[in-house]
Amino acid sequence: MTVTPVASHAPARACFHCGLPLESAVFPVTLDGIEQDTCCRGCQAVAQTIIDNGLGAYYRSRTAPAPSGRNAGGVPQELDIFDVPDVQRAFVRDAPASDHEKEASLLIDGVTCAACVWLIEQRLARLAGVTAVSLNYATRRARVRWDKGRTALSAILRAVADLGYEARPYDSSRAEERLRRERSVLLWRLFIAGFGMMQVMMYAIPVYLAEGAMTPDIEQLMRIASLVLTLPVALWSALPFYAGAWRELRVGRVGMDVPVSLGIVIAFAASLGATWTASGQVYFDSVSMFVFLLLGARFLEMEARAKAARTQEQLVRMVPAYAERVSEGGDGATERVAVAALRPDELVRVRPGSAIPADGIVTEGCTAADEALLTGESRPVTKRPGDALIGGSINTDGVVTMRVTRVGEDTVLAGIVRLMDRAQSEKPRIAQAADRVAQWFITALLLLATAAFAVWWQIDPTRALWVVVSMLVVTCPCALSLATPAALTAATGAMYRAGVLITRGSALETLARATHFVFDKTGTLTTGRMSLAGVTLLSGDTRAQCLAYAAALESWSEHPVGRALTLAASGVHPVASDVRAFAGEGIEGVVGARQLRIGRPGFVAALHGQTLPRELQLAPAAVTVVALGDSQGWLALFMLDDIVRHDALAMVRALTAGGAKTALLSGDRPQRAAHTALELGISEYRGGATPADKLAYVRELQAQGAVVAMVGDGVNDAPVLAQAQVSVALGSGTELAQTSADIVLLHSRLDALVEAVHTSRRALRIIRQNLGWAVLYNIVALPLAMAGLVTPLAAAVGMSVSSLAVVLNALRLLRNGR
């Protein structure tokens, strides 16, 4: 066996253990007589542990570098807490068939390749007292069994930590575990039905082909063999349908499971009778095929649900188990504590490569955070002191200290999980309508089947039963019931990947039907940050000089205008003295020997007593004007604009091209609203609108029959967002937890809205196609079955092909193509 060591692939100056670039100091370890360099004491310790335990083979066969050992050094004392029986209750069980052994599920972080699995299993298996260990590579979950008299759980967790991985208890009572068990039972039922179906078919085909040329005793043998194989299918595999039908009947409804169960029971009972009397047709093949195909559809649906559950599980998993809390002594020392023990206002240090433990604000250091799973934004976001960090995102660059603002259930991450739960628990209107139609349809079907039975009893009593079975099977309304949920699940998944979070079940449908998109201006179409749009020079000073003066004064100000001007001067400016700020007016100060004022023109004019410059009238209505002057006269006028989001224009164009009307509502000056509207090509606009005005405007549109989608920043526009049929909020992280909007654009990118509208329309189109197909199929199939032209086998095939077509059509939504 030839195994290439990873070290030879890595650049010459990379850590032998974790593959990170080496810095000046190196920490050597010796493997197989060759000295290798590691990047830090942590990696050295981990590598040494691995080699000392005789597990050096790990380095020869791994295919990805190990997680960095930088944080592995200090094994937290808190692991002892996991030995307390009360703490263990959630995730430790008594091992089956043993009275002194315990079993626990652990989630292992840092597993990068199959060699890690080997390494951890080997290390734990060699630990005294551990009786069994298996680590699942796909789920990163380990099952460990140990003798409670010989070792403790904390020792096991410590052994994993010594290898540079992080193990944490996994609470197996979670939804995913239940889903896993459900899945394995369903898989077993599906297997029985499928296997039974194939075998029964083997016995049925010869009988069909022989067309009566078979001797009666052989034919009877075939019947009995088929019966034996169909027995488990009809009695065990089909159990969920009987249970469902019973549930439905008990609450006085007829759902999909009723005709399904009826079909199975009638066909099976009649075939049983035919076998008993050794005469007549048996349809065991149809029964087992019908059950198999229906179970197959259920299995597909369950896989889709499991996938959704996994996305959520992934989100929950993003919060690390431990955090480095900065001690209160003020000496900068840190201690490792459990994340659950963190409280708001505590300081936490986050190292590069590790996850941010809670929501907070950077107090020290600069870094970039990878928020991809939370917001869909793939590029790391730069974080400086004062910026908000989202718990669960990954710190990619530097060491930062943050002040915790929210923990546990209050965090953004917990909010997203809650919103996703809510969306999934609500049934959209179109699905409710489909359910109502299905129920009505089934009632009609049962009546028709009874009538058909009565008629056929007169014509040909031997065929009456088969006609009924064919009718019940061929018109199975599964396609009707599957059509909507399949499409919605696929669409929601596709949208979340594009950074659009659907928080209400019916939002998707309403968005697709929206005729009017109404936008708030500040913070929605614009970024809410001011920028310098132009400078009018009024004296001999250059533009750069004026900007430098402005920045010198404004650097004392926290106002958005001040920040815009300081930014425009690119940070290079002289220092002003004797600075005085006049609230709502401007700033006065001395730069060099000149006394300067910046602010409202009237405020500046008071310094030199000259009339307002003519250029002020020429300034466009859509900008804020700030004047600069000294004691001699005017120096310059600065025009400031709120930056329009770079993707706003493209979004408005795309929406208009899609046939939707756009409108802009703003609390700003009317001229300014008009300016933004014109710039973006929005035909309707209202400036100077109070929240009540906005509400009235939306009501007026709705009175004319419009379906209004309101796009706002989510917090300030709550009433009008609630009034619109569908509300879209731009959620840049922090406000997300409190949002009431139906749809959230996770990374505040407006083009995601276009994508969302597009996907929702596609979803609605596919739902309509599916429903249309289901209806058409039934219209054709039902009369044929009633006329006795469809055998039960053909009916089962027809039913399943129609269901399959519906599911496959819905899965098209997962592809991102247009």
**Contact by Cβ (8 Å): 508, 726:** no
Least CB distance to other proteins at residue 35 (A): 16
Least CB distance to other proteins at residue 109 (A): 17
Buried b (16+ CB within 10 A) or exposed e, 659-695: ebbbbbbbbbeeebbbbbbeebebeebbbebeeeebb
Q: Which is nearer to other proteins, 3 or 333 (CB)?
A: 3
Q: Which is nearer to other proteins, 199 or 595 (CB)?
A: 199
Pairing type for strands 322-326 and 334-338 reads: antiparallel
Buried b (16+ CB within 10 A) or exposed e, 386-403: ebbbbbbbbbebeebbbb
Least CB distance to other proteins at residue 217 (A): 9
- Residues forming the active site: 520
529: part of which helix (H) or strand (E)? strand 526-537
- Rounded CA gap, 286 and 263, in Å? 10
Q: Is 150 exposed, middle or buried (0-12, 13-18, 19+ CB in 10 A)?
A: middle
Q: Which is nearer to other proteins, 106 or 413 (CB)?
A: 106
The number of angstroms, rounded, from the C-alpha of 402 to the middle of its chain's C-alpha atoms is 26
Q: What values do phi and psi take at 810, rounded to 5?
A: -65, -35
Least CB distance to other proteins at residue 317 (A): 18
Structure tokens at 133: 């260990």
3-state SS assignment for residue 621? coil
Residue type, 724: A
Q: Of 666, 726, 715, 730, which Cα lies nearest the Cα of 693?
A: 666
- Rounded CA gap, 294 and 452, in Å? 25
Residues that bind other proteins (CB under 8 A): 1, 52-57, 61, 113-115, 117-118, 122, 126, 135-139, 184, 187-188, 191-192, 195-196, 199, 202-203, 215, 218, 221-222, 225, 228-229
Least CB distance to other proteins at residue 127 (A): 12
Q: Of 176, 159, 58, which Cα lies nearest the Cα of 117?
A: 58
Q: Which is nearer to other proteins, 227 or 753 (CB)?
A: 227
The number of angstroms, rounded, from the C-alpha of 21 to the middle of its chain's C-alpha atoms is 33
How far, CA to CA in Å, does 586 sit from each of 539, 545, 548, 602, 604? Answer: 20, 19, 16, 10, 8
Q: What is the DSSP letter of 538?
A: -
Q: Which is nearer to other proteins, 121 or 684 (CB)?
A: 121
Least CB distance to other proteins at residue 49 (A): 11
Q: Which is nearer to other proteins, 284 or 519 (CB)?
A: 284
Q: Which is nearer to other proteins, 8 or 215 (CB)?
A: 215
Least CB distance to other proteins at residue 57 (A): 5
- Rounded CA gap, 800 and 811, in Å? 16
Least CB distance to other proteins at residue 221 (A): 6
Q: Which is nearer to other proteins, 229 or 807 (CB)?
A: 229
- CA torsion through residues 103, 109, 113, 118, sign: negative
Structure tokens at 562: 């001040």
Least CB distance to other proteins at residue 54 (A): 4
Q: CB under 8 Å, gap of 24 or more: what pairs does 566-575 form?
A: 567/531, 567/532, 568/531, 568/532, 572/548, 573/547, 573/548, 573/549, 574/548, 574/549
- Rounded CA gap, 515 and 725, in Å? 11
Least CB distance to other proteins at residue 677 (A): 55
Q: Of 580, 396, 371, 490, which Cα lies nearest the Cα of 770?
A: 490
**Contact by Cβ (8 Å): 164, 154:** no
How far, CA to CA in Å, does 441 sit from each of 176, 261, 293, 482? Answer: 35, 16, 21, 15
Q: Which is nearer to other proteins, 67 or 255 (CB)?
A: 67
- CA torsion through residues 741, 747, 748, 752, sign: negative
Q: Which is nearer to other proteins, 188 or 440 (CB)?
A: 188
The span from the first CA to the last CA of the chain, in angstroms, equals 48
The number of angstroms, rounded, from the C-alpha of 46 to the middle of its chain's C-alpha atoms is 35
3-state SS assignment for residue 346? coil
Least CB distance to other proteins at residue 10 (A): 20
Q: Which is nearer to other proteins, 137 or 246 (CB)?
A: 137
